[in-house]
Amino acid sequence: MNFLGHLYLSRRHSDEIVIGNFIADGVRGKELKELTPEVLQGIRLHRSIDDFTDKNAWVKKSKQRLYSEYGKYSPVIVDIFYDHFLAIEWESYYPETTLNDFAQASYDLLESYPHYLTQNVKFLLTHMRNQNWLYNYSEIKSLEKTFEGMSRRASFPSRMETACNALIKDYGLYKEEFNTFFPEIIRFVEELRI
């Protein structure tokens, strides 16, 4: 799962757990000692979600379809594809609020805890809000821009700028895999002792 999926899956927890989930990929070693128990729970939640996702048979199918073209970047691409499907089917998963309202509330929450955000995360969050990434996952054109930016920043040739072609080609298959996987991860998170 990418940003939207992680925020959705932590939405019923405390603000600090949401923060921990959001910053998890950028926190290492000694930085962990400076965080509250709840933020650490959020980091553990993020890592549990990633571990479950990596091992899930439906996600593996999606990644395998991409592997010959995108190699090690396949998992990253699938994460974004799945955020796309969550965005377009938002009302099915969270009818209590619109996707845009959820996105704006998420940006507000994250910005209200600046002491937990590194400079890199603050920079990222500014771009997320200014370009409304969470909402714009619903649009293929926005995904194309996302993949183009990621391709420019990749350490090795990634061809991620063409990932939307793969999405469009097998759209129904990715959608079916997401819709089978997502209720499984919702149940997994609900059963976690966090």
pLDDT value, residue 34: 79
CB 46 within 8 A of CB 189: no
What's the pTM? 0.94
Closest CA to 82 of 154, 186, 12: 186
The per-residue pLDDT for range 106-150, each reduced to its tens digit, is: 999 999 999 999 888 999 999 999 999 999 999 999 999 999 988
Among residues of the chain, what percentage have pLDDT more than 90? Answer: 84
Closest CA to 190 of 6, 20, 5, 12: 12
| Per-residue confidence band for 158, with pLDDT thresholds at 50, 70 and 90 | confident
The per-residue pLDDT for range 34-72, each reduced to its tens digit, is: 789 999 999 999 999 999 999 999 999 999 999 999 999
The structural domains of the chain, with segments of one domain joined by +, span: 3-191
pLDDT value, residue 30: 67
CB 62 within 8 A of CB 78: yes
CB 194 within 8 A of CB 17: yes
